[in-house]
Structure formats: structure tokens, C-alpha cells
């Protein structure tokens, strides 16, 4: 087909979808942008000190002074919400990035090399596959003591198998293709093939996956803090705020619901961005 007509329907379709759904993606990007700003600047932009307690003013309803009211120790919920963005963003970022790096490397190796390398890596992946990560962390936290960065480290270990499996799947599809074999017959070294030939075809899935991992880690870390096994008590953190305010749900529900809404909003935005990226990136190469 001549070039003018060769644009597959996927591209025009995606373009249209992009135009239609772009308001949604823009909204997600705005949400994420706001969270990033909150994470970076934290208490600097909060109207009040997130840790300042005020025993005269506990569990107050939203008002002019406290936009979202106060919690059981009189702290301003809105400021704590802003400060809490840091723990909500930093940990998941580290997890997503590290897991992507390690997972992609292992996945490429396993899918391209095959044989014993693959068998070894997949044994480990299968082992970790059915393990409920959160429980593992709880058990380990019980032995070693809880902590935010410990949880981050453990989550990295738990998420790498997931990334590996996904990347290995795509690599397995690509590796037997003639363009890879042609590169081999031309004498292109294996490492170059993996990084410069196969990975560009894997990248849409890998990058989209990173966003999904981010969203998942966000909820996992918040869950751990909720249980008291994540951040140290007293730290502004969305998950911890939820558990702190739970018993006072009747008095100032906002103190509990607001952090919950933030968690859902951020995670949803990241999930949507991840899905959207995958569509866009894979239609750029527009294989048949």
C-alpha cells in the first residue's frame, strides 16, 4: 500500500479517542501535578503547621480557619493533607523506578536468552507470584520492626517479579521475529539487540506498567501506614490519617474521607495515565 493510505485504523482511532478523552487525561495530569507540587514543597505551602496540636480545637468541622477541620489532636487536616503527599509520592516513585529498572533487565534476559537463565528467573517469579505482598511485609515488619523505607525496599522486591513477567512476555513475542534474527545474522551483539532492538518494542508496555506499579504501591504503602506498620506515628500520611480519624468518623468525617479521596484520586490518575500511555506509545510504532 502506498504511504498515504497505509495509516492503519488504529492511528486514526487513537487520534480520535485522544481528542475525545484528552480532557480526562489532562485532568489526571493536573491531579498528578498538584500532588507533585504538594510532595515537593510540603509544609512550605501548607496554611498551617501540620504538626501543631491545639487541644482546644479538636475535631472541629470545616471552617474559615481550618478548611477541612481538625483531627483528634487539633491539627489542621488540610495542612496535613498537603504534607502527606510526600510520603504518598516519594516511596511509590522509588518503587516504580527501581522495579522498572530491575524488572526490565531480568525480563529481557529471561525472554531473550531462554534456557536456564529463563528457567531460573521464572522459578523465582512464579514463587513470588502467588505471595500476597502485604502479608509478607506485615510478617517481616513483625520481626524486623516497621518502617516506611523498609516497606519500600520490600515492595521493590515484591514488585520486580511482576515487571519481569510482563517484560518477559513481550520479549518472548519479539525475540523470534525475523528482525531480531536478521540482526543476529548481521553480527549485532546480544546486548545491543536486547537494548536497542527489543526494548524499544517493549517500552510501551514497560512504561505503562510503571505507572500501574506506582498506583499499586501507593495504595499498598497507604495500607501499611493505616495498619500502623508504615510511617512513624504522628507523621502526616494519608493512610495513617485514615486510621487515626476512623473512630471519629461520626464527628468530623472530612478528616477521614479527605485523605481517602486523595489516595483514590492519585491512584486513579496514575492508572489512567498508564493506560493512555500504553495506547499512545504502541500506536507510534503501529505494528500490524
Partner 1 sequence: MTASTTGTVSTADPVLDVTGLRVTRARPGGGADTIVSSVSMSLGAGETIGIVGESGSGKSMTAKAITGLLPPGLTAHGEVRYGGRNLLELREKQWRAVRGREIGMILQDPFTMLNPVVRCGQIIAESLPGEARRAGRAQRRAEVARRLAEVGIRDESVAHRYPFQLSGGMRQRVAIAAALARDPRVLIADEPSTALDVATQREILALIQQIQRAHGMSVIMITHDLRVAFAVCERVYVLYAGSLVEAAPAAELRDEPLHPYSQGLLLSEPPAGHRVRELAVIPGSVPSPDQVAGSCTFAPRCAWAAPQCRQGTPPLAEVELPGVVPGRLSACVRLPEIRAEMMLARERAGREQHQAVAGRAETALISVRDARKVFQQGSRAVTALDGVSLDVGDGESVGIVGESGSGKTTLARLLIGLERATEGQVTIDGIPATDWPALSGGDRRRLRGTVQIVFQDPYSSLNPMRSIGWTLAEAITTHDRRARNVPARVGDLLASVGLPASYAQRKPFALSGGERQRVAIARALAVRPRLLICDEPVSALDVSVQAQILNLLTALRAERRIGYLFITHDLSIVRQITDYLYVMRHGRVVESGPTEGVLTSPRDAYTIKLIESVPGRQALTPRSATTSRE
Partner 2 sequence: MTARGWAFFLARRLAVLALLLVVVSFAVFSLLYLSPGSVIDTLLGTNPRTPAELSYLTSEYHLNQPFLTQYWIWASQAVRLHFGNSIQTSLPVTSEIRQRLPVSLFLGVYAYILTVLLGVGLGIAAALRRQRLADRGIVGAAIVALSTPAFVSGVFLIYLLGIQVRLFPVAGPGTGFFGELWHLTLPAVALALTATAYLVKHTRAAVIGVLDQDYVTFARARGLTASRVLTGYILRNALIPVVTMSGLILSYVITGAVLVEDTFSLPGIGQLLVQSATAKDLPLIQGVAMVIAVVIVLANLLADVALMAVDPRIRLGRGSR
List residues binding partner 1 (CB under 8 A).
Answer: 1-9, 12-13, 15-17, 177-179, 181-188, 197, 200-201, 203, 284-288
Q: Does 246 bind partner 2 (CB under 8 A)?
A: yes
Q: Which is nearer to partner 2, 48 or 87 (CB)?
A: 87
Which helix (H) or strand (E) segment holds residue 159: the answer is helix 148-174
Report the b/e string of 65-74 with b at 16+ CB within 10 A. Answer: ebbbbbbeeb
Q: Which of residues 117-156 bind partner 2 (CB under 8 A)?
A: 127, 129-135, 138-146
Closest by alpha carbon to 272, among 260, 264, 262?
A: 264
Binding mask 196-215 for partner 2 (x = CB under 8 A): -------------------x
Q: Which is nearer to partner 2, 91 or 193 (CB)?
A: 91
Which helix (H) or strand (E) segment holds residue 68: the answer is none
Instruction: Supply the DSSP string of 164-198, one letter for each residue.
Output: HHHHHHHHHHHTTSHHHHHHHHHT--HHHIIIIII
Quick one: what does residue 154 bind among partner 2, partner 1, none, with the CB cut-off 5 to 8 Å set by partner type?
Answer: none
Quick one: what does residue 138 bind among partner 1, partner 2, none, with the CB cut-off 5 to 8 Å set by partner type?
Answer: partner 2
Quick one: what does residue 183 bind among partner 2, partner 1, none, with the CB cut-off 5 to 8 Å set by partner type?
Answer: partner 1
Shortest distance in whole angstroms from residue 231 CB to partner 1: 41
Q: Which is nearer to partner 1, 5 or 44 (CB)?
A: 5
Q: Does 222 bind partner 2 (CB under 8 A)?
A: yes
Cβ pair 57, 74 in contact under 8 A? yes
Residue 235's alpha-carbon distances to 9, 64, 126, 215, 261, in angstroms, are 51, 24, 36, 21, 19
Which helix (H) or strand (E) segment holds residue 123: the answer is helix 115-129
What residue ranges bind partner 2 (CB under 8 A)? 127, 129-135, 138-146, 215, 219-220, 222-223, 226-229, 239, 242-243, 246, 249-250, 253, 256-257, 260, 263-264, 267-268, 270-272, 275
Amino acid at each position: 500500500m502506498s504511504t498515504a493510505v497505509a495509516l492503519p485504523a488504529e492511528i486514526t482511532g487513537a487520534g480520535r479517542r485522544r481528542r475525545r478523552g484528552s480532557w480526562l487525561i489532562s485532568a489526571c495530569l493536573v491531579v498528578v501535578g498538584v500532588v507533585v507540587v504538594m510532595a515537593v514543597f510540603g509544609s512550605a505551602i501548607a496554611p498551617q503547621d501540620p504538626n501543631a496540636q491545639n487541644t482546644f480545637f479538636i475535631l472541629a468541622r470545616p471552617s474559615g480557619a481550618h478548611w477541612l477541620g481538625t483531627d483528634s489532636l487539633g491539627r489542621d487536616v488540610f495542612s496535613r493533607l498537603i504534607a502527606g503527599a510526600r510520603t504518598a509520592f516519594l516511596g511509590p516513585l522509588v518503587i516504580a523506578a527501581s522495579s522498572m529498572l530491575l524488572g526490565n533487565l531480568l525480563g529481557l534476559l529471561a525472554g531473550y536468552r531462554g534456557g536456564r537463565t529463563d528457567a531460573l528467573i521464572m522459578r523465582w517469579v512464579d514463587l513470588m507470584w502467588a505471595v500476597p505482598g502485604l502479608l509478607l511485609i506485615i510478617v517481616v515488619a513483625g520481626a524486623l520492626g516497621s518502617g516506611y523505607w523498609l516497606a519500600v525496599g520490600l515492595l521493590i522486591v515484591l514488585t520486580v517479579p511482576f515487571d519481569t513477567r510482563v517484560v518477559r512476555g513481550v520479549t518472548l513475542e519479539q525475540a523470534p521475529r525475523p528482525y531480531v534474527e536478521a540482526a543476529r545474522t548481521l553480527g549485532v551483539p546480544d546486548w545491543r539487540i536486547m537494548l536497542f532492538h527489543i526494548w524499544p518494542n517493549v517500552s510501551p508496555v514497560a512504561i505503562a506498567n510503571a505507572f500501574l506499579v506506582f498506583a499499586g504501591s501507593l495504595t499498598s504503602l497507604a495500607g501499611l501506614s493505616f495498619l500502623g506498620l508504615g510511617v512513624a506515628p504522628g507523621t502526616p500520611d494519608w493512610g495513617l490519617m485514615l486510621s487515626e480519624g476512623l473512630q471519629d468518623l461520626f464527628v468530623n468525617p472530612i478528616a477521614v474521607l479527605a485523605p481517602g479521596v486523595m489516595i483514590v484520586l492519585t491512584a486513579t490518575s496514575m492508572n489512567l495515565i498508564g493506560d493512555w500511555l500504553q495506547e499512545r506509545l504502541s500506536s507510534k510504532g503501529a505494528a500490524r
